[in-house]
Amino acid sequence: MKFAVRLAAIAATAACALSFASGAMAQNKVNLGVAIPAATHSFTAGIVWWANEAKKDLEKKYPDLKITVKTAANAGEQANQLQDLVTANKINALVVFPFESAALTKPVAQIKGKGIYVTVVDRGLTDTSAQDAYVAGDNTAFGKVPAEYLAKALGGKGNIVAMRGIATTIDTERLDAFNSVLKNYPDIKLLDAKYANWNRDDAFKVMQDYLTRFKQIDAVWAADDDMAVGVLKAIDQAKRTDIKIVFGGAGAKGMIKTLIDGADPRIQANVSYSPKFIYDAIKLTAEARLKNEKLPATTIIPSVLITKESAKQFYFPDSPF
């Protein structure tokens, strides 16, 4: 009788352990939502492409991982998509590339408040307590590298105009870094810095305004390769010859090819900021959550100067960006 009781107890303990193990395995199944801007320009086209590459590669590698990618054309649409990811897709982890910083901070905070793990990518939130982790390129270097290059190329004096992106934390960080360098060059004047939304058509219009207002411009910090395309078009239409340098940014394949070929003397350098970091952020988040682990609070991917001599290592002709 005692043996039977002991056997039953062992069986019950084993069943309990099996039940616990099954529960633990179920908890390690990751349903990851990815919320990113739509392909409104070539950089975000690269973001969308790399996000879907991550979904394809990682779902194939990890059977306990499901990834849902949603793209939004504006901040309001993205906020609604976040709610859908929670209610319809039942996500337990989120990688979000905010369309705008301020507008998405509260919606993302609400997601985190539901116990969902949140990784924010690139365009940071205005309140970092709304995230578990942050992954981005080096936005301080993205501003400093062009400023240092232009200051040297201009011999420490001249007039510069600049393009800003969208009202986000990274745009502010970049401009602050750019200005921090120019403070060391009192003979260089930043005539104006207007928002052009990382968009070539908007940059074309802003540059037209600059060309009308300013009779002498020595260089343009376009702060994005799409915006640089619009800037060059406006300069060419106006037939202005005073502008010697147009410095874009992020290493778009068309601009890097121009740099390699020496096809436009105004394109002399660039700064790296690949959209592949969305792939890296999704991969890092998925693998950490599958192990029930967390990422470091901040992961920064370096941004470096690209010159004609180094350009080939930054040229990816098969990428949409």
Measured CA to CA, the distance from residue 299 to residue 138 in angstroms comes to: 9
Q: How far is CA 198 from CA 132, 149, 265, 274, in A?
A: 27, 21, 23, 15
Cα 188 to Cα 263: distance, rounded to the nearest angstrom: 27
Superfamily of domain 30-137+276-301: Response regulator (3.40.50.2300)
**pLDDT at 102 > cutoff 70:** yes
**Cβ atoms 194, 166 nearer than 8 A:** no
Rounded mean pLDDT, 249-275: 96
pLDDT band per the 50, 70, 90 thresholds, residue 291: very high
From the list 280, 222, 300, 285, the residue with the least C-alpha distance to 47 is 280
**Domain residue spans of the chain:** 30-137+276-301, 139-271
What is the overall mean pLDDT for the chain?
A: 91
CA dist 76 and 162 (Å) reads: 28
Average pLDDT over residues 62-72: 98
Confidence class for position 116, pLDDT limits 50, 70, 90: very high
Give the pLDDT confidence score for residue 20 in this predicted structure.
39
- CA-based nearest residue to 240, from 263, 221, 260, 212: 212
Cβ contact 131:294 at 8 Å: no
Bridge partners, 31 (sequence order): 66
State the CB neighbour count (10 A cutoff) for residue 16: 10
pLDDT digits (tens, 9 = 90+) for 211-237: 999 999 999 999 999 999 999 999 999
- Percent of the chain past pLDDT 90, that is, above it, reads 84
Q: Domain 139-271 is classified in which CATH homologous superfamily?
A: Response regulator (3.40.50.2300)
pLDDT of residue 41: 80
CA torsion, ordered 176, 173, 256, 35, to nearest 10 deg: -160
Q: What does the alpha-carbon distance between residue 13 and residue 7 come to, in Å, rounded to a whole number? A: 10
Residue 249 has pLDDT above 50, yes or no: yes
Q: Read out DSSP for 176-212?
A: HHHHHHHTT-TTEEEEEEEE-TT-HHHHHHHHHHHHH
Q: What is the DSSP letter of 73?
A: S
pLDDT at 14: 42
Assess contact for 285 and 51: CB atoms under 8 A. Answer: no
pLDDT for 182: 98
pLDDT of the residue at 15? 43
Strands 245-247 and 219-221: parallel
CA 14 centroid distance within chain:
48
Question: Is a pLDDT exceeding 90 seen at residue 292?
Answer: yes
- Give the pLDDT mean for 182-194: 98
| Helical H segments across the chain, by residue range | 2-27, 42-61, 75-87, 101-113, 139-153, 169-182, 200-213, 225-238, 253-261, 277-290
Chain segment 48-62, per-residue pLDDT in tens: 999 999 999 999 999
Q: Are 30 and 55 in contact (CB under 8 A)?
A: no
Nearest 5°: CA angle at 256, between 250 and 258?
Answer: 135
> Would the CATH topology of 30-137+276-301 be identical to that of 139-271?
yes
Q: Can you tell me the mean pLDDT for 158-180?
A: 96
